Amino acid sequence: MSSAEDALLLWDLFKQGDWNAYTKLYNQYFKLLNNYGYKFTKDINFIEDAVQDLFVKLWTTRSNLGNPLSVKNYLYKSLRSTLFRKLQSNSRFTEIQDDNSLPFEASFDQAVIATEQEQELRVKIKVVIDKLPARQQEIIYLRFYESFDYEEISDIMNITIASTYKLLYKALHSVESVFKDSNISNSF
């Protein structure tokens, strides 16, 4: 059985009020959700509050929850909207109306040992991606880090599938410039 199917079984038990299943869901997704949250803000308390709110709401509304496409997908989507909502209510007096304005930032591990060429390329990738608008950075993350498919990304980011393709292509267009003058040998 795939882990996605396992997760859906767990989800079903949790919806019936199984505290154990709920605990397992938390333990399985805590780290992933924190990592995702960290892309939007470096304020750890803020992320923790959002994760807490998310899980408290899951439990209190469990009997009204449906069966999501995938559990991971659902949790990402929920965390994302919780973060945006919290951010908006924290700054009710500033004019944040558009959720596109939440920054998104991937950080890179300098400690990973890599060849000089790889290292150089990694820096280039970071420079190029850091310059992308937040939503383009987010779609790159969901696609290449989390390996969500188009349908899942459109669900998480709350846009149509057509827009998802468009957004990814826009982002990839900029990313291509990384290879302007580098030679890379075949990797397969």
Q: Quick check: 19 binds other proteins (CB under 8 A)? A: yes
Return the residue of 69, 96, 106, 134 that touches other proteins, per CB under 8 A: 106
Among the listed residues 11, 55, 74, 76, the single contact to other proteins using CB under 8 A:
55
Does the footprint of other proteins cover residue 30 (CB under 8 A)?
Answer: yes
Question: What is d(CA 80, CA 116) in angstroms, rounded to the nearest whole number?
Answer: 36
Beta carbon nearer to other proteins, 99 or 174: 174
Three-state secondary-structure class, residue 127: helix
Least Cα distance to 70 among 8, 28, 13 occurs for 8
Q: Is 149 in the site for other proteins (CB under 8 A)?
A: yes
Supply the minimum distance, in Å, between the C-beta of residue 13 and other proteins.
16
173 binds other proteins (CB under 8 A): yes
Identify which of 85, 86, 128, 73 has the alpha carbon closest to the alpha carbon of residue 106: 128
Under a CB-based contact definition with an 8 Å cutoff, are residues 46 and 40 in contact?
no
DSSP readout, 14-74?
Answer: HHTT-HHHHHHHHHHHHHHHHHHHHHH-S-HHHHHHHHHHHHHHHHHTGGG----S-HHHH
Q: For binding to other proteins (CB under 8 A), which residues are involved?
A: 19, 23, 26-27, 30-31, 34-35, 38, 44, 47-49, 51-52, 55-56, 59-60, 89, 92, 106-109, 112, 114, 118, 121-122, 125, 129, 140, 143-145, 147, 149-150, 165, 168-169, 172-173, 175-176, 178-179, 184-188
